[in-house]
Structure 1
Amino acid sequence: MSGGGFHVHGPHDHELEHAAQHEPSGMAGQLAVITAILATVGAMFAYMGGATQANAGLYKNMAAIKKTEASNQWNFFQAKSTKQSLAEVSRDLSPVAADREKYQAKIDRYETEKKAIQAEAEKIEAESKDWDRKSDAQMHEHHRWAQATTALQIAIAMAAIALLTKKRWLEYAVIGVSAVGVALGGMAWFHI
């Protein structure tokens, strides 16, 4: 009420002015800040989860490419072995000594070539296994990021319920679940 230069506020008016002039306080303000932080951290965790999943797929693809290359080398090795076997049969069945020497030279050459091919195939197989290990590590890390993101999403949902029900214990549960999510994110960061 106003009159004669005096302005009198009712209790409701005073609370509205106080709320408009000050930052949110109490449970609602705390939950708003917590939710904003959780959403931000959760978005970063989700990004990292997606990146590690993409890396795992890329590494698995590289492993498959290397397995194919190794298979090609082993096929080449088998072809040289077949040629060597044919040269051995030809040498053993040849009545002419000069032909036997010619076939023996081929046999020796095939044996040398096979050793080089075998070494290359084994090297490529090792590379394939290395890519597989990298892929598995990225998938493990991806699962940690996904678990962390899920925990933070649960905490955000719990914050909404805490705000609606005005239960202080639920706010503490939000903080607890958030801590679990951040711990899982830390484990992902440190590759645990």
Structure 2
Amino acid sequence: MSFSKVPLRLAATVVVLAVTACGSEAKPRTADAEVATLQSAPAASAAPSATGVGAVIRPDASSADIQDLERVYFTCLRDNGAPSSKDGLSKPGQPSPAPEKVRAANAACADKQPVSWLDVERRTNPEFPDLLRAAAKCLKKKGFQARVVQEPEWRLAYRDSGEFMRAGDTEAKCIDQAFAARIKTYR
């Protein structure tokens, strides 16, 4: 499965967790931070990395594989005192868990948080901008006004949201083509 087909539910989940952890302080990046290395694992298990990357969603992951990764992550959060509406233990209108509990749960479960292979590439591959430019070039050949932007992070950008919506499958194919050699390391 390509990156663009990852369910929106995962993105919404990350947003919810980010909002609940608003009070947390960002840890400064250090110059000697380790670079994550990736090892192949069965799609359903997507073994978490010891380097803190999280549980990598492989390019060929099915919806069921992604749901399994999410289930493990949300169970960990719940077990560490941060229930969410996703697992039915916290309902809208009820008080949220204390920010300290949310921060502690996020830290305890960081190695289980699902993260797409493309996000791992963005964080660890120095060639990422060049590969993304190759994907943008592919999109341009197919009639899209795609470009690469760096802020707030390296990503593809489009003329407007309509073009972004139309690009879906084409973007996935162009990313798969541009990152073909790298994708092999995730399988």
Interval containing the TM-score (normalised by the shorter chain): under 0.3
Q: TM-score, normalised by structure 1?
A: 0.21
- Structure index of larger Rg: 1
Q: TM-score, normalised by structure 2?
A: 0.21
The structure in which a higher percent of residues are strand is 2
Q: Which has the higher contact order (CA 8 A, sep 6+)?
A: 1
